[in-house]
Structure 1
């Protein structure tokens, strides 16, 4: 089974333009992320896929592997699918380009799902984190997921799911962590399928997979990535780098 990591990397960002090319301890954010993915030793290969010549040149000039997007894409899955269409690969893991402090544990868990899936019933795997704070549960920026008794995703939403009409029934709430592992065919299928109403309403690409019958296996984790979404996040990340270097 050949397993690769693909890091989708857009240059534009609404909250923090060009964040992937910002300096983080003497290297760009995207280079740090690329090197961290390699250092996990979980992948047969690692690629950055991007719409930016600056990012492409940055990775290539540092000895890495990059793929230039041919088309404009609305989602990370679309960008990755185009990139891997002609690659000889079985499992593709989406690594977020703005998370240079990669934690190995959730990546190992989503990869292990496919190693155990001898019947090939699983199309995607993704981690989830239990949340108990009401503010977090009600925050629409935290995507929630509900699963069946076998751990397969039933639905994802920015709303509170399940709705707590009855408080004392032992419901657990889970936040979806945006790491995905795909069978290559599931990605290619996604690429050819239209966006339907659920995905359009919630602005969540994983709903396209569910709307078209794909099976998403969720795995519980206690680890959350440290993303760089604002200049303040970058400063915190640089502080972490300085502490690690000392």
Structure 2
């Protein structure tokens, strides 16, 4: 297939931010483990019986404090790396491939004759990619992913709003980072995953204006748009990110 198969800039930016998160988040957790050994989620916060508050600096020695910080570093590294791989590679990379495929078909369709139906085999490849993508994120995997993002973001924002005068500044920074990260996930990748549906609908409308045999037209009419399932019978479209943000607001203010 001829055309410019170029990866979109926003995907490159998102991958770069994910790599930065994999590097910076474990370092931040390591520093929390050293400077705040009594603050969750450090393991030493449940080991040291002398911890009376999150800001306590118990005299347990640099060795045990460093060991707890190292354990927290590897724990955060595994969690962040797994989440980044799942969202960036497993979730968003197939979406990016589908977008490139649709845009190539649309660009090549402009120079085609009205009586031809080019790139029907390419659209069949798009259908196969969509089916494979949906088979990976079938119910309940996608529902668990969306629900986890909603619950974690609500918890982080609730802590920021209600506990700003109680918890320490370092805790507020931690929950602010979590809230911002999950908000970016909601309005970023979740918004991107709706693009193949929108682009494929426009492509199918372009196919309808082409001339050809009745059998070919019936084949084109049978083509469904590229839909990524939400796991509950719905699929990602333009308003999905707003729909996902709605439960967050309801959990936050109820």
Please state which band the TM-score falls in when normalised by the shorter chain: under 0.3
When Rg is computed on C-alpha atoms for both structures, the one with the higher figure is 2
TM-score (norm 1): 0.22
TM-score (norm 2): 0.22
Higher helix share: 2
Greater RCO, 1 or 2 (C-alpha within 8 Å, sep 6+): 1
